[in-house]
Amino acid sequence: MNSSATDARRKWPCRGSYRCWRAMVTVAAVAFASLWPAGAGAAVSRPRTSAVPLPRPRPVEAPAAKPEAPAEGHETSPGAEPSAAAPAVPEREVSVCRAALTDAVAIAPSVPDIHGPGGCGGEDLVRLEAVVLSDRHRVAIKPPAILRCEMASAVADWVRTDMAKLARGLGSGISELDNFDSFECRGRNRIVGAKLSEHGRANALDVRSFGLANGRAISFTDRAAPRDLRESVRRSVCARFTTVLGPGSDGYHEDHIHLDLMERRNGYRICQWDVWDPLPQISPMLPAPRPEGAPPREVAAGPDGAKSDTDESDADRKQPAEPSNEKPAKKKRR
């Protein structure tokens, strides 16, 4: 804008006085302030406090954020809390067998998976402590057995259905089952270098006897036990398990019964258990006495080569002397 001294003197007639110049400065400052944006002066003296827009909250269904790994060589103080919570470890999916093996069927808590040398161990393992009958009575497994869930379920069903009925036929209830061996990382029949036993896969159970509520114990291999009882147990286990080994099988199972669920081609099964007859109650008769016409027994000679009369049997002493062809010598008359 062009202006001349004349115009300035026309607007400000003070002509160089101090008050006039002070008023002009004030008016100019007001005009300058009106042109500057609001709050600009505050920004010069201090930072702006206006709110910064934040990101939207994380959706509930979004996966948990992974915490950043600390830089290499960085050490955290013992009492320091992590900046972000560790992600929760996902729970293992419950198997169909584990879901069915409830406390109404058996007391069998799950145990961690076992991965041993040579393929020993397995997954979905349980610790079979007791079998629960339909009347809520518990049949203790002594000692508790480490088994695969499917094997434990088969044992529980066998005890609940067959063994409980058999015990009622004896006038009592079943109270316990003797566990001779369950999981053990070893070869078959404990032979070094042999093929891995089903015991090493937690897929086998050795049983010796079962106890009744009246305190009586019955061994599966005892000849004194009723034969029809042992025959019933044999038919029962051979129908439920794929392998049954007992007396007469291989010489390693004369005092217990081996049960497992080994899978074979075409569903092949093994049932080798000879139920022996009871031993006779009366001792057999002694050999008949030696007939008189029997030839004499050979008698060992003594140290001096002579045979002693005490070494001969009564029959030998009663045997008449053999006749001789020689005629006796005649006595001379004196």
pLDDT for 325: 58
The verdict on pTM exceeding 0.95 is: no
pLDDT for 271: 97
pLDDT for 170: 93
Q: Report how far residue 237's alpha carbon sits from residue 296's, in angstroms, rounded to the nearest whole number.
A: 58
> Cβ(177)–Cβ(152) under 8 Å?
no
> Cβ(124)–Cβ(97) under 8 Å?
yes
Q: What are phi and psi of 118, to 5 degrees?
A: 70, 20
Q: Which residue has the tokens 């029959």?
A: 315
Q: Report how far residue 126's alpha carbon sits from residue 123's, in angstroms, rounded to the nearest whole number.
A: 9
Walk along the chain (334 residues) and give the pLDDT tens digit of each residue. Answer: 454 444 544 555 555 555 665 666 666 666 655 555 554 444 444 545 556 677 777 776 666 665 555 555 444 444 445 445 545 545 668 899 999 999 999 999 999 999 999 899 999 999 999 999 999 999 999 999 999 999 999 999 999 999 999 999 999 999 999 999 999 999 998 898 899 999 999 999 999 999 999 999 999 999 999 999 999 999 999 999 999 999 999 989 999 999 999 999 999 999 999 999 887 777 667 777 888 888 887 776 666 666 554 444 444 444 555 555 555 555 545 5
Pairing of strands 257-260, 243-245: antiparallel
pLDDT for 287: 76
Tokens of 43: 């920004």
pLDDT for 192: 86
